[in-house]
Amino acid sequence: MRAKNITFWLLFFIAGVWAQRFLPGVDMLAPGILVSLQEKRPAQTLWLTVIAIFIQEGVGTLNFGVAVLWYTAVFIVYFIGRWLFEAENTLFIFLLGLCLGGVYFGLLSSMQILQGLSVSRPSLPVESLLQVVLFSLVWWIVKLLRKPWVSHEAAI
Tell me: pLDDT of 119 over 60.
no
Give the pLDDT of residue 104.
87
Can you tell me the mean pLDDT for 121-132?
82
Task: pLDDT band for 153, please (50, 70, 90 cuts).
Answer: very low
Tell me: pLDDT of 155 over 70.
no
Instruction: Determine the Cα–Cα distance for residues 33 and 74; give it in Å rounded to an integer.
Output: 9
Task: pLDDT band for 74, please (50, 70, 90 cuts).
Answer: very high
Task: pLDDT band for 120, please (50, 70, 90 cuts).
Answer: low
Count of H-run helices and E-run strands, the chain: 6, 0
Amino acid at residue number 90: T
Task: pLDDT band for 32, please (50, 70, 90 cuts).
Answer: very high
Task: pLDDT band for 66, please (50, 70, 90 cuts).
Answer: confident
Backbone angles phi, psi at 51, to 5 degrees: -65, -45
Instruction: Determine the Cα–Cα distance for residues 114 and 135; give it in Å rounded to an integer.
Output: 27
